[in-house]
Amino acid sequence: MSTEMEKKEEKEVKKGGGELLFCGTTAWDTIGRRKGLPDNNLVSPTRLRPLVGVDIRFVASGCASCHCVALDVDGRCYTWGRNDKGQLGHGDQIQRDRPTIVSALASYKIVKAASGRAHTVVVTEDGLSLAFGWNKHGQLGSGSAKNEIEFYPVRCVVTEVTNVACGADFTVWLTSVEGASILTAGLPQYGQLGHGTDNEYNTKDSSVRLAYEAQPRPKAIAAFANETIVKVACGSNHTVAVDSNGYVYTWGFGGYGRLGHREQKDEFSPRRLDVFTKHNLVPPHAVVSAGSVNSSVTAGGGQLYMWGKIKNTGDDWMYPKPLMDLRSSSIPKKVDALEGMHVMRQN
């Protein structure tokens, strides 16, 4: 009986939504560009007038982004914030301080979304993926980086998509395709694409200036050819993933210990975390998150583990540690609306 009730509750949660409350800075044009605190901060959770009465199902705001995405229960996509690279998908570069429906997506039912530094990627109910915004490094996954900015949604070269996550300048897709459950595209500079290389090269034979070859076509990570990835989260330049067996992997930029391998070395290919093995596997309903300088995941019993730079002062956590302040708590399963948000954001 209890199992049937739990399934019924989960079904209702997936179907329903809730009210969106927002807090923090709204000075979209100054975030990360000017020192000091912006004047226009919402210091407490606030209802956004355009979304009052709208049932919101999902929210995305990446650790490096200065714009937000919200999806309602009917599959409409709302964006607001900085728009200098067309990351809001409205066909222009006009900043919007109010959540605005992306009319170019009106014919789709959007169920998942993610936002990078200046790009946005969404997933439809039918498993398609579309993206808009900055595409200099091929992070839109359209197969081409010819257009540096895409002001309207373009199709990503992926199929059967189940979820998406964005780093600053790269994108990760999860699919139901056998042998290709996780694909990446975009900037490979720190190895965050997971393909064993950063694609570094000299711009000229006589120059010491380095550049990184863009990867505009989503490519399956070969290391996971025999595994199925079920959860993924992206920091600015690193990735955290969980497979169907409950194992956790990280790769990309290793500074501050955000990869959890007891060292600060960059990892160009997925590397398994030894903490989450044997009797401490990550369950299917786990919460996985990545901030710009840290990572976190809930393991057995709902215990939250974190690693990387946790506070502005003190030592960094070089490997996953349970957050003792929550040792007697169990992080709730029903976090659909929070999956696109990050535990900690460092500007």
Average pLDDT over residues 266-294: 95
pLDDT score of 202: 80
Residue 93 is predicted with a pLDDT of 98
- Chain centroid offset of residue 262 CA: 24
Quick one: pLDDT band at residue 39, thresholds 50, 70, 90? low
Which pLDDT score, from 0 to 100, does residue 40 have? 72
| Domain presence at residue 119 | yes
Confidence at residue 293, expressed as pLDDT on a 0 to 100 scale: 96
Query: What is the reported pLDDT for 344?
Result: 37
Instruction: Look at residue 222 and tell me whether its pLDDT is greater than 70.
Output: yes
| Per-residue pLDDT, 2 | 44
Instruction: Read off the pLDDT of each residue in 143-171 and give the average, rounded to a whole number.
Output: 97
The pLDDT of residue 26 is: 85
Q: Looking at the domain assignment, is residue 64 inside a domain? A: yes
- Rounded average pLDDT over 92-116: 97
Give 318's DSSP letter.
Answer: E
Estimate to the nearest angstrom the gap between the alpha carbon of 231 and the chain centroid.
11
Give every strand in the sheet of 110-115, ordered side by side.
110-115, 119-124, 129-134, 149-155
**Is residue 347, in this structure, part of any structural domain at all?**
no
Task: Give the residue-averaged pLDDT of 166-184.
Answer: 97
Dist CA 331 CA 286 (whole Å):
9
pLDDT of residue 343: 37
**Structural domains of the chain, count:** 1
Q: Which amino acid is at 243?
A: D
**Is the pLDDT confidence value at 42 over 90?**
no
The C-alpha atoms of residue 134 and residue 79 are separated, in whole angstroms, by 15
Flag whether 310 is in a domain. yes
Residue 131: predicted pLDDT: 98
Residue 160 counted as domain residue: yes
Q: Which residues contact 326 (CB under 8 A, 6 or more apart)?
A: 303, 304
Lowest average pLDDT, out of 50-54, 121-125, 197-201, goes to 197-201
Residue 281 lies in a domain: yes
Instruction: Give the pLDDT band of residue 94 (cuts 50, 70, 90).
Output: very high
pLDDT value at 345 more than 90: no
Indicate which CATH number applies to the domain containing 183.
Answer: 2.130.10.30
Q: What is the mean pLDDT of residues 162-177?
A: 98
| Token couple for 328 | 């007697």
Closest CA relative to residue 22, chosen from 88, 67, 63, 64? 67
Q: What is the mean pLDDT of residues 184-190?
A: 97
Mean pLDDT to the nearest integer, 258-277: 97
- In a domain, residue 315? The reply is yes
Higher pLDDT, 239 or 5: 239
pLDDT given at position 36: 59
- Tell me the average pLDDT of the chain: 89
Question: Where is average pLDDT lowest: 20-34, 46-60, 92-106, 249-263?
Answer: 20-34
Could you give the CA distance from residue 305 to residue 315 in angstroms, rounded to a whole number?
Answer: 16
pLDDT at 257: 97
**Residue 70 included in any domain:** yes
Query: Average pLDDT in the 187-193 region?
Result: 97
Say if residue 329's pLDDT is above 80: no
Q: Quick one: CA dihedral 338, 190, 251, 182, positive or negative? A: positive
Distances from the Cα of 70 to the Cα of 19, 53, 76, 187, angstroms:
11, 14, 8, 25
Which residues span the domain enclosing 212?
8-31+38-338
